Structure 1
Amino acid sequence: MASNNNSSDRQRIAQQRLSRIAAHLHKHEDGNSGIIAKECKIDATGSTEENKGTVPRKRQEIMKWNGWGYSDSKFLFNKKGQAEFTGKRYRLSGMTLPSLQDWFENTFGASVKHKSPATPVLNASVVPPPRLNEAFVENLKATGIPFSNEAEDRVFRAHGHCLHEIFALREGKKFERVPDMVVWPNCHNDVVKIVELACKHNVCLIPYGGGTSVTSALECPPEETRCIVSLDTSQMNRILWLDENNLVAHVEAGIIGQDLERLLNESGYCTGHEPDSMEFSSLGGWVATRASGMKKNVYGNIEDLVIHIKAVTPRGVIEKSCQGPRTSTGPDIHHFILGSEGTLGVVTEVTMKIRPIPEYQKYGSVVFPKFEAGVACLREVAKQRCAPASIRLMDNKQFHFGHALKPQVSSIFTHFVEGLKKFYITKLKGFDPHQLVVATLLFEGDRERVLQHEKQVYDIAATFGGLAAGEDNGQRGYLLTFVIAYLRDLGMDYCVVAESFETSVPWDRVLDLCQNVKERIIRECKERGVQFQPLTSCRVTQTYDSGACIYFYFAFNYRGLADPVHTYEQVEHAAREEILANGGSLSHHHGVTLVSSLQLPYGLGRGEDREPCFLTHDPTKPYCFLTQCPLRKPATPMCRKRHTPGDRVSVHCTRPATGVARARWDKDIPASQTLP
């Protein structure tokens, strides 16, 4: 009898524990769609007034439609044979760069006489007419949520910043498929309404944050016959509340990085999260791509900063009810959403850690005789846990590239001092200008700790032959961060294509990986008829206890090539294969592209090994992943052709379709059956 009582008690206690665990996943439900659509307080009057942020609803008013960044900011070569950077938005704006043109022509074999200008204005005739779902449109009108089906609005949200996307825009090529309309929710509850209507009327949604994606995630599948709606979160750009006791802020996910930092700075706080795209990328995009910022050594990556996520899925609003700093109940729903790249739902609100604005900030730089010495130094800095907020090691080619971007010196004395430094490093110390490398440093925190870490880092650097190179060089390296992306547009103006990709790798594989990937790129370019030597360079840009993030730049002069984009993609695919063969990851922070998704089995393991684990857990709903998706696999590794619905694959080689509805590849699959 006692045994039966004990068994009953154990069952009761177990049930209570399961109930508590379930309570950590809070999900709003109603009788129909599982979504409660409440009125957004700020829109209770039906107002469609634009929420003021740096980027307006009509992005084309201040931003390029066929390139990076602001319309008034760009690199150009003037009549004096010097490069300059236009506009007034950056520290580099209005300055001339006397060395850039010579570097450009010598590096790529290019000439400013051979120009390939971009199409200046969008031709509406190349944009397919919208395929509107009239029932959806009528229901959307009733909500008062603003929307548009104008060609410029639709094209602006039909692409990210992959090379093939920008190249096609510049060439003025006809679009196969673009979003049929753009909708601008003002708050979480607007998103709930939109997703509810999308499910009701079988409409595809593509979440759009800052538009800085380099994963082809914003491309619309040409064979999709349903109405595709771009859900632009840019009007969801407020800090809803700030808790100074717990040092957290609750923020709408559409806010872009520069606005988030500006608003927090007004109250004396910051996030410290600064990816290179932070000017234009959004908080929701950071979550969706598991982003990393250059100051992660102090502040952490996005997964370290997130406390709470609210997301709208076709089955309801998913969020935790507990906002404690850590729980032992798993699996953690946040880790399903982080890195999901828009395939599971729309991130609408995020609670994240904040910090007081640092008391003290100091830049620095170190010159090393060789790349190997620099890597060894960074490894030791990571081992001793004294890394500054940011430490980046540039190889020799990036060093010369950075030197070419140096503004014109206005003072004879400054020019004289620079000459002395160069003489000291190359002549007296014997550093080879063709082998030396530079590490840039950024220290942040309280003054005493910064100075302590600074001394420790420079002492370590000295043991590996490093020489302190001054604050100015370090500061200039970081100030260039936000203008580097503009250089690709300049290159394309003169028949040079360029792109970047990244990986993470254990420390003992860093040197081999860097060397082998560069050599593979050069070899592949030669085999594919690239007539001029390509630029291949890398930097160690993030450090961890067990490894580092390596960031590659790759560019070549495409004159004489029939299809430069196809050639580039073939070479990039080979470079990624080389990365994987050398022990690197598919991506550290960019996400998974259409091309690299074919290599995803190397990152997740073989499909035949994973599938039994998925199916034995729940044959009908395997971990919410896209194992039930029809196939959209290119016929060859570099082919973008999609196969017809009907064939099926597991998650490792499926490229999701679109937004919340990305799992709905087959138009005959009801919306309610797409996600568990």
Structure 2
Amino acid sequence: MCEKETEVQSQIVNIESVIPKNRLAVLKWNGWGYKDSKFQVTEKGIIRFTGNRYAIGETDLPFFTQWVQEVLNIDLNSRNVPRNNFESLELPLSIVPDDFLNALKTIKIDYTVDDLARLSRSHGQTLYDIYSLQHGKCYPRISDIVVWPRNHEEVVNLVDLVNHHDVVLIPFGGGTSVSGAVTCPENEKRCIVIVDTSQMNRLLWLDESNLLACFEAGIIGQDMERELRKQGYTCGHEPDSYEFSSLGGWVATRASGMKKNVYGNIEDLVIDAKMVTPKGVLEKNSKVPRMSCGPDFQQIIFGSEGTLGIITEVAIKIRPLPKCSVYNSVIFPNFESGVKCMREVARQRCQPASIRLMDNTQFKFGQALRPVGSIFGNMLDILKRKYLTGICGFRLDSVCVMTLLFEGTRSEVDNHKNRIFQIAASFNGVIAGEKNGERGYMLTFVIAYIRDLALEYNVVAESFETSVPWNNTILLCNSVKKTVENECKKLNIQHYLISCRVTQTYDTGCCVYFYFGFNWTGLDDPVLIYHHIESAARDTIIASGGSISHHHGVGKLRAHWYKKNTPKTVLSLYSASKKNLDPKNVFAVGNLITFPLSKL
């Protein structure tokens, strides 16, 4: 047994990352995703998606072009050219104490004070972040220095060093945060060190007997999945940001994935994790499936958002690759029918790997993103439309679509599909086929690119999410939409979009994801206006029984609601943990609760 354990844990594999150390060689510095992938307007005035990484790559999108013009009143002949050169920004100077820099050199961790390296790791993907980079002013505070530890031991040495020199550490994974979690606190006077974990991306061991694997926390989601698939396994965790977010970031924000019904959320997948704090390493140091040994204090790692330490290694559950993966979809006459169907699916506990429901606005949006088909394909679309409206009696202005992904053996998938379709039929659902299901699932990875195009044409947009009990779901969705509508009327915003989808289901409730954007032509400070309206919407969410967040975390954007809606006893426990694990407030990122910037 001991020999086998040693053999398993010695299988260290170096993994080539999709995001190199020089991340800007591949990724945009002032937008979402890959440099070669984006929506742009051609000389003919048609929106096109570039690159070949996605299914709609190098494709003209005339339906989408028409949709944005009609819904958001976009003038495609009037473009706000985004800033392409960061040197026009007035960056805060890098101030690194000599004694700390000399000490850093002794522990031989790679570092840089390069301006673009500091800037590109001092922000996430909030509307404020990207608008500031493309069209506004630089952030009032960015990091002073970036470091790249290569393993757990180097992180231990680094934390000891900064604790001694009273320097601030902010962990940085994939940079996909939409909560302001990696934003440098504006009033922090101490030297701020960004800890880029990208070089900690190895597979440390894989235990096939117990279906476990241990990775360093800096590994990017798609790299981890690629490595597991080479050996016939999967972890099944697939958030929308899966291409760019890191394993450590998932743990730090209590992430959820599109296939959580089969594989679980991140807290269900993790069997052990190491987090380096100024007071030592927090870990279970065990691979057993469960323990009843008092309170599980390691749970404080989940959702800690860089405030207590740096996550360095994570042991996760894995599963053999499914033999069969099949997409499908169902159309309902209205959103209420779709929600009732999802509730019944959850009640019977027969959710497939992924089940998501888009409201009518998102349904039309998804249809608009389809490319021009062949004559035969267009005829089929017309026939399907006539079938829905003429025979089924559906109204195209109210229908919604549920996308499905089934995994398992062929017989398991077939049986599962039949069961879901029977439930859907009882709520007037009509099977819409595999193609629509797959397109709806894959478009998730492309949608994030749209915001960069929108900013070029006077549109600001963002998403926000919540979890809510089943009996409040419809009320919450309708109330949030009404709140946004009322706020837009007050501000004389005439062209806007507010839509929602149900993305994850549970026994007792679901996750609802909202998209909101508006044309800000004629208005000043669109980002401030957006945050005002979203804040009103989030107040409505909480008043309707929803949570502050389902999977995006708290960061700085939602800290107000966290403090207001979290019991004082819980806040005091978190404060006590912070004071015990980080008495000098080295991890002064400022998420969740704002602590004094100096020693606690």
TM range (shorter): over 0.9
Residue 124 of structure 1, CA deviation: 5.9
Question: Paired residue for 1:589, among 542, 551, 568?
Answer: 551
Residue 83 of structure 1, CA deviation: 1.6
Structure 2 counterpart of 1:618? none
Question: Deviations along 1:500-559, whole A, 9 cap, x unmatched?
Answer: 0000000000000000000101111221342x2320000011000110000000000011
Residue 111 of structure 1, CA deviation: 1.0
Structure 1 counterpart of 2:184? 220
Structure 2 counterpart of 1:665? 596
Does residue 557 (structure 1) correspond to residue 519 (structure 2)? The answer is yes
Amino acid at match of 2:343: R
Q: Which runs of 5+ in 2 are unaligned?
A: 1-10
Structure 2 counterpart of 1:288? 252
Q: Structure 1 CA distance, aligned partners of 2:110 and 2:380?
A: 58
119-128 vs 265-274, which moves further: 119-128
Structure 1 counterpart of 2:438? 475
- For residue 65 of structure 2, give the secondary structure of its aligned residue in structure 1: helix
- For residue 339 of structure 2, give the secondary structure of its aligned residue in structure 1: helix
State how 1:173-184 maps to structure 2 within 5 Å: 173-184=137-148
State how 1:458-607 maps to structure 2 within 5 Å: 458-530=421-493, 532-605=494-567, 607=568
- For residue 308 of structure 2, give the secondary structure of its aligned residue in structure 1: coil
Amino acid at match of 1:485: A
Structure 2 counterpart of 1:35? none
Amino acid at match of 2:472: R
Question: Paired residue for 2:330, among 363, 366, 389?
Answer: 366
Structure 2 counterpart of 1:45? none
Structure 2 counterpart of 1:423? 386
Q: Structure 1 CA distance, aligned partners of 2:475 and 2:241?
A: 29
For the 8 Å contact 1:249–1:351, the answer to whether it is kept is yes
Question: Paired residue for 2:221, among 254, 257, 261?
Answer: 257
Q: Structure 2 CA distance, aligned partners of 1:589 and 1:172?
A: 29
- For residue 133 of structure 2, give the secondary structure of its aligned residue in structure 1: helix
Question: Paired residue for 1:210, among 174, 197, 220?
Answer: 174
Question: Deviations along 1:574-633, whole A, 9 cap, x unmatched?
Answer: 00000000000010000114232111245323x3x667x75xxxxxx9640469999xxx
* Counterparts in 2 of 1:126 and 1:178: CA distance versus 1, 3 Å: same
Structure 2 counterpart of 1:449? 412
Question: Deviations along 1:393-416, whole A, 9 cap, x unmatched?
Answer: 00000000000100121x222221
Q: Structure 1 CA distance, aligned partners of 2:15 and 2:265?
A: 28
Q: Structure 2 CA distance, aligned partners of 1:101 and 1:626?
A: 54
Does residue 247 (structure 1) correspond to residue 217 (structure 2)? The answer is no
- For residue 73 of structure 1, give the secondary structure of its aligned residue in structure 2: coil
Structure 2 counterpart of 1:201? 165
Q: Structure 2 CA distance, aligned partners of 1:263 and 1:581?
A: 44
Q: Structure 2 CA distance, aligned partners of 1:240 and 1:567?
A: 47
Does residue 135 (structure 1) correspond to residue 99 (structure 2)? The answer is yes
Q: Structure 2 CA distance, aligned partners of 1:322 and 1:477?
A: 40
Residue 172 of structure 1, CA deviation: 4.6
Structure 2 counterpart of 1:145? 109
| Residues paired across the two proteins, number | 587
After superposition, the CA RMSD in angstroms is 2.2
Q: Structure 1 CA distance, aligned partners of 2:26 and 2:481?
A: 37
* Counterparts in 2 of 1:208 and 1:324: CA distance versus 1, 3 Å: same
Question: Paired residue for 1:325, among 255, 271, 289?
Answer: 289
Residue 322 of structure 1, CA deviation: 2.4
Question: Deviations along 1:134-193, whole A, 9 cap, x unmatched?
Answer: 111111112221110000100001100111111100115133111001000111111111
For the 8 Å contact 1:394–1:437, the answer to whether it is kept is yes
Structure 1 counterpart of 2:5? none
Question: Paired residue for 1:273, among 237, 245, 252?
Answer: 237
Question: Deviations along 1:620-658, whole A, 9 cap, x unmatched?
Answer: x9640469999xxxxxxxxxxxxxxxxxxxxxxx9x832
Q: Structure 1 CA distance, aligned partners of 2:592 and 2:178?
A: 20
Q: Structure 2 CA distance, aligned partners of 1:428 and 1:663?
A: 59
Question: Deviations along 1:23-59, whole A, 9 cap, x unmatched?
Answer: xxxxxxxxxxxxxxxxxx99xxxxxxx9731101111
For the 8 Å contact 1:345–1:659, the answer to whether it is kept is no
Does residue 391 (structure 1) correspond to residue 355 (structure 2)? The answer is yes
- For residue 483 of structure 1, give the secondary structure of its aligned residue in structure 2: helix
Amino acid at match of 2:577: C
501-510 vs 134-143, which moves further: 134-143
TM superposition outliers: structure 1 runs of 4+ over 6 Å: 626-630, 659-664
- Structure with higher Rg: it is 1
For the 8 Å contact 1:503–1:586, the answer to whether it is kept is yes
* Counterparts in 2 of 1:610 and 1:315: CA distance versus 1, 3 Å: closer
Q: Structure 1 CA distance, aligned partners of 2:570 and 2:298?
A: 22
Amino acid at match of 2:588: A
For the 8 Å contact 1:206–1:660, the answer to whether it is kept is no
Q: Structure 2 CA distance, aligned partners of 1:554 and 1:405?
A: 17
Q: What is the percent sequence identity of the aligned residues?
A: 51
* Counterparts in 2 of 1:663 and 1:52: CA distance versus 1, 3 Å: farther
Q: Structure 2 CA distance, aligned partners of 1:526 and 1:663?
A: 34
Amino acid at match of 1:254: G
- For residue 283 of structure 2, give the secondary structure of its aligned residue in structure 1: strand
Residue 449 of structure 1, CA deviation: 1.4
Question: Paired residue for 1:69, among 30, 33, 54?
Answer: 33
Q: Structure 1 CA distance, aligned partners of 2:576 and 2:317?
A: 29
For the 8 Å contact 2:198–2:219, the answer to whether it is kept is yes
Residue 358 of structure 1, CA deviation: 0.6
- TM-score, length basis structure 1: 0.84
Question: Paired residue for 1:624, among 574, 577, 594?
Answer: 577
151-160 vs 105-114, which moves further: 105-114
- For residue 320 of structure 1, give the secondary structure of its aligned residue in structure 2: coil
